[in-house]
Amino acid sequence: MMRAGAHPGIAGRWGKWVGFIRDRRGIAAVEFALIVPILLIMYFITMEASQAIETSKKVSRIGSMVADLVTQQPTIVAADLKAIMEIGTSTLQPYNRSVPDITITAIRITTDTPPRALVVWSRKVLNGVYGADAAKDTPTTVPSTLRVAGTFLIRVESKLGYVPIISWSADGSQTTGLTTIFNHISMGETYYLRPRRSLTIPCSDC
């Protein structure tokens, strides 16, 4: 017997809605589908940030290590400088999505008033190609605190265009739209050191 005021069609539909709302079997699947993309994004951002920080530290370490190796030599030749720069480049491993640029410059501070900073010799590796950089007696700049008349300096500049993994492919092709946004992140450091075993470090074939 149907109670007064109850319409069978409305009562049936209302019962289905109540049953649908109470049925929680699909909620877990929906929540999982919504949360997983967010978790993956957070994972890749964390991974990329940690690798970028570690690579930045290695770029700084290149300058420090190369400068230290050069200033331990009483004299040097271009082949030795190339070998030292190769050692510096290898410190970036296992990161290999781009190569660092390294410039080693020997600088003499003249006894003029005021003292001038002039290049004695300079070698570099740029995009994997080794060669000479600034010519002898080219004016250059050094921090004012290091501009001491009659002294000799070695300057090492290390630079890297860090390529995030989200915009990199093994063949160098741009495979994602993110490439235009995250093309590369510039990293770099400059170190100045004085010779350890002599007053100057001549290079006979630089």
The pLDDT of residue 61: 92
| Single pTM value for the model | 0.75
Place 1 in a pLDDT band, splitting at 50, 70 and 90.
very low
* 168 within domain boundaries: no
* 106 within domain boundaries: yes
CA atoms within 13 A on the CB side of 188: 12
The pLDDT of residue 41: 79
The pLDDT of residue 29: 65
The pLDDT of residue 14: 56
- CA 107/CA 20 separation, integer angstroms: 80
* 118 within domain boundaries: yes
* 37 within domain boundaries: yes
Domain count, the chain: 1
* 175 within domain boundaries: no
Q: Tell me the mean pLDDT in the region 19-35.
A: 64
Quick: pLDDT tens for 10-26.
555 555 555 555 555 55
Note down the domain range covering 153. Answer: 31-161+187-193
Quick: pLDDT tens for 123-168.
999 999 999 999 999 999 999 999 999 999 999 999 999 988 766 5
* 116 within domain boundaries: yes
Contact status, residue 204 vs residue 78, Cβ threshold 8 Å: no
* 10 within domain boundaries: no
* 198 within domain boundaries: no
